Amino acid sequence: MCSINHDLKAIFIHIHKTGGTTIAMNLKKYYGFSTYYLRRPDHTKFCFDKKKKKYINYENRVHGVITYYKTSPFLNKKMNMTPQKWDTYYKFCFVRDPYDRIVSAWNHVNRFNIPFQNFLNLKNTCNDVEYMHTFMAQYRSMINEKAKNYMNFIGHFENLDEDFENILKNIGIVDFLHNKEEKLNVRNHKKFYEYYNQETLDKVNILMKEDFQNLEYKKITDIEEFQKKYNINNNNNDSPITI
């Protein structure tokens, strides 16, 4: 999904489970953006998907948001986009600590109450919606068809409100109209690090390899180091909300 404002020459790239639903809502409600959640006519061929899926939109196992939308003449016509606009518009997204994001995604798509450690084994058997939320690397949605990072600004879920205001300033908005307290897709669950042991840590390190290689989040290989970083330093915090 992406949101576009042609007057401001700006594009928001929505990466699942990074606060993107809230950002897209605010952009549309207060700042004149249009949000697009579309399926290209050649979806099955473009995504190398031999199985007929029931999902009508862009979820897939291969291409991130930019490549999916940017390379489709059909979608570009609907969005009034051109190659030049893609190259020159201010493009921004949000990312999230992979250890946190995969727990949030599992909590979001887990319809059958499958334990976290078991769900991590379903990469090859889950449906496309579950895959894109949980197993698709965030970095995949940040690159163009030449596999180059296409972002002008990368915000962080951990600093969402401040980064969002910086983005608004960068695209020329000086009056902030949105309510910081208004969040969508909010759920309560245990602290994400409570779902980890050495086995799940090892699995997530493999599953999220692409993000650890390309984003500013450190991969941790030892569970004691992981617990020291997250658990001990945060054990007095209330249970967080997840978006």
> What CA–CA distance (Å, rounded) separates 195 from 45?
37
CB distance 13 to 33 below 8 Å: no
Quote the CA–CA distance of 171 and 239 in Å, as a whole number.
35
Helix (H) or strand (E) holding 155: strand 153-156
Give the pLDDT of residue 236.
Answer: 47
Angstrom CA distances, 160 to 94, 131, 181, stand at 8, 24, 12
> In the chain, what are the domain boundaries?
2-242
Whole-number pLDDT of residue 51: 66
CA dist., res. 231 & res. 97, Å (int): 15
Q: What is the DSSP letter of 4?
A: E
* pLDDT tens for each residue of the chain, 243 residues long: 999 999 999 999 999 999 999 999 999 999 999 999 999 999 999 998 766 666 778 999 999 999 999 999 999 999 999 999 999 999 999 999 999 999 999 999 998 999 999 999 999 999 999 999 999 999 999 999 999 999 999 999 999 999 999 999 999 999 999 988 777 666 677 899 999 999 999 999 999 999 999 999 999 999 999 999 997 665 545 445 556
pLDDT value for 24 = 96
Q: What is the pTM of this model?
A: 0.92
